[in-house]
């Protein structure tokens, strides 16, 4: 008798069918995800506002006065702020925690307001432009690298002096040459410098009005390729030179802004063709340097109370950003975004109840830094669109304060050491106090202040010196010594009853003293008038 089968049959699997089903599921999911990503990218490309990183913010407290300068190094690791309070503060995103404290604060230019800060293209040095005539270059830790020389203010031709002679207004680094930077000043010149040569400028550019007179440049910048130098002047002109030709301008616009207003910022786009200018006449204008006679677009009613209000381009060159100013307690300062092509206002951020002075959109971090008129530096970021920067410090919890601990001196026990090197055994404090109590010197009670004339060789507290003690006693002595005989006899009774000095020595041989009795002649002599008495 045989068995055809016993128990359950083993399950069989069609592996090819399973693999085919898995592959189809993966393709469907990938197509769905890619479709959503494509839709998102298309929306972002058609709407640049989606790229603005403003969902989150952190607030850095610089001080109480206007933050007039901002700078980020090329890598975006370190932020520097400067203000009207003369301070320059260094902020390290990787080293900060949620307390958001600066790791260094200094005053590199003493009592001069900070006008401009900028890192070089390598990020190893920092340019500091303040209200004096000498720009400074600091290293990453804030130590002085060089200071520009001051020119001779009595020379008429500014091209013949070695440096600026009046207050600086602006400064920036060359975008390609790491040793070169530029400054402009109230002396009517724009000068380029080399970090290795602080004794004299490299070249000097002199803006001129239509009549050929000197005008003051209020801002300056390099083009993106570093071949052009642009300056905005107080007469409303924008003048652009070739960097290698300092005499005649290459581009010149006479009526760029209202004459007498300070052009606060010039900024080239990333493509190097468009120039944005922020005027003191409450306007923001876009220029094509290939056709520099009139602006391409213009925005009005953008209040500007500061001579360093910024404007900048977004990293994709599709937006132009600037800040607006407000008077105290009259509204909020705003960060305004304009579409570069149509120049329509597409977005705005209400920053704080003070003016927005500085703005900076870092291309690597995709974060926006803002300096305000009430001493704040704000950083706007998006957890998805932004990278590093503020995202590094907001995830770190505050460090606990370290309490001071009492440190006890370690006692090393060396039983086999020579007596000269052996340390004394440590004793408890209580035993040492008991031992000190038995020591007459250590436990001696201080003597109280002396009252009266003094005793035991100690002078009374009055005056503190022997001369003052004598003067005091002389002043108190009211005895009349005009009659010497009476003065001597006044002590006769005490000397006879209590002899102490001379009388005991001559007690056996001393005769009885006999004094003459007063006669009538002496009495008459006493009665004589003063003018008859003999003067001694």
Note the pLDDT tens digit of each residue in 501-529. 777 777 777 777 777 776 666 666 566 66
Residue 531 domain-assigned? no
**Count of domains observed in the chain:** 1
| CATH number, residue 386 | 2.130.10.10
> In terms of pLDDT, which residue wins out, 445 or 102?
102
122-136: average pLDDT: 93
Dump the DSSP string for 75-128. TS-EEEEEETTS-EEEEETTT--TT---SEEE-TTSSS-EEEEEE-TTSSEEEE
Whether pLDDT at 378 is above 90: yes
Which tens digits make up the pLDDT trace of 382-438? Answer: 988 888 888 888 887 777 665 554 445 566 777 788 877 777 666 667 888 888 888
270 in a structural domain:
yes
Per the prediction, the chain carries an average pLDDT of 83
For 331, other C-beta atoms within 10 Å of its C-beta total: 15
Alpha helix (H) residue ranges in 10-56: 15-46
In sequence order, the 6+-apart residues with CB closer than 8 A to the CB of 48 are 314, 316, 318, 319, 339, 346
Which pLDDT score, from 0 to 100, does residue 478 have?
60
Report the C-alpha gap between 181 and 168 in whole angstroms.
14
The pLDDT, as a whole number, for residue 90 is 94
Half-sphere exposure of 357 (CA within 13 A, CB side): 26
**Band (477; pLDDT cuts 50, 70, 90):** low
Q: Name the DSSP letter for residue 528.
A: S
Q: pLDDT value at position 1?
A: 47
Determine the structural domain holding residue 86 and report its residue range: 54-395
SS3 239: strand
Per-residue DSSP letter, 484: H
Residue 122: inside a domain:
yes
Residue 414 forms part of a structural domain: no
Question: Domain for residue 234, yes or no?
Answer: yes
Phi and psi at 469, nearest 5°, equal -65, -45
- 368 domain residue, yes or no: yes
More confident residue, 120 or 499: 120
- Residue 505 resides in a domain: no
| Number of CB atoms found within 10 A of residue 375's CB | 21
Q: Quick one: what percent of the chain has pLDDT higher than 90?
A: 38
Residue 123 lies in a domain: yes
């Amino acid at each position: 008798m045989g068995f055809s089968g016993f128990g359950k049959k083993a399950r069989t699997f069609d592996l090819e069918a399973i693999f085919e089903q898995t592959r189809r599921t993966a393709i469907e999911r990938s197509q769905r995800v890619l479709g959503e990503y494509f839709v998102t990218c298309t929306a972002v490309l058609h709407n640049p506002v989606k790229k603005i990183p403003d969902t989150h913010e952190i607030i850095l407290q610089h001080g109480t006065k206007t933050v007039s300068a901002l700078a980020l190094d090329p890598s975006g690791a370190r932020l520097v702020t400067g203000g009207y309070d003369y301070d320059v503060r260094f902020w390290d995103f990787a080293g900060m925690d949620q307390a958001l404290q600066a790791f260094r604060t200094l005053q590199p230019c003493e009592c001069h307001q900070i006008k401009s800060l900028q890192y070089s293209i390598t990020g190893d040095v920092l340019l500091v432009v303040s209200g004096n005539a000498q720009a400074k270059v600091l290293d990453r830790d804030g130590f002085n690298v060089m200071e520009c020389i001051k020119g001779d203010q009595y020379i008429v031709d500014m091209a013949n002096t070695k440096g600026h002679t009046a207050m600086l207004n602006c400064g920036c680094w060359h975008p390609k040459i790491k040793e070169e930077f530029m400054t402009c000043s109230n002396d009517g010149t724009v000068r380029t410098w080399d970090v290795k040569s602080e004794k004299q400028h490299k070249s000097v550019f002199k803006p001129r009005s239509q009549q050929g007179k000197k005008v003051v440049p209020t801002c300056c910048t390099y083009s993106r390729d570093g071949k052009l130098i642009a300056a905005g002047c107080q007469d409303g002109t924008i003048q652009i030179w070739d960097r290698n030709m300092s005499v005649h301008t290459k581009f010149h616009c006479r009526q760029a802004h209202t004459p007498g207003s300070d052009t606060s910022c010039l900024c080239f786009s990333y493509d190097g063709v468009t120039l944005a200018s922020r005027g003191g006449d409450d306007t923001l204008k876009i220029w094509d340097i290939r056709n520099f006679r009139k602006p391409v677009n213009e925005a009005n009613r953008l209040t500007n109370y500061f001579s360093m209000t910024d404007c900048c381009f977004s990293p994709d060159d599709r937006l132009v950003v600037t800040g607006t100013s407000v008077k105290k307690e009259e509204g909020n300062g705003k960060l305004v975004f304009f579409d570069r092509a149509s120049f329509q206002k597409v977005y705005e951020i209400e920053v704080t109840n003070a003016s927005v002075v500085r703005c900076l959109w870092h291309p690597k971090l995709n974060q926006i830094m803002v300096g305000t008129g009430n001493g704040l530096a704000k950083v706007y970021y998006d957890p998805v669109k932004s990278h590093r920067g503020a995202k590094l410090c907001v995830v770190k919890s505050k460090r606990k304060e370290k309490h001071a601990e009492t440190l006890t001196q370690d006692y090393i026990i060396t039983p086999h050491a020579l007596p000269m090197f052996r340390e004394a055994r440590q004793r408890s404090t209580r035993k040492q106090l008991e031992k000190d109590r038995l020591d007459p010197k250590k436990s001696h009670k201080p003597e109280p202040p002396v009252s009266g004339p003094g005793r035991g060789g100690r002078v009374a507290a009055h005056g503190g010196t022997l001369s003052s003690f004598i003067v005091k006693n002389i002043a108190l002595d009211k005895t009349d010594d005009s009659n010497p005989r009476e003065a001597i006899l006044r002590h006769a009774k005490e000397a006879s009853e209590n002899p102490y000095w001379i009388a005991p020595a001559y007690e056996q041989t001393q005769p009885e003293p006999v004094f003459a009795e007063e006669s009538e002649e002496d009495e008459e002599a006493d009665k004589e008038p003063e003018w008859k008495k003999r003067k001694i």
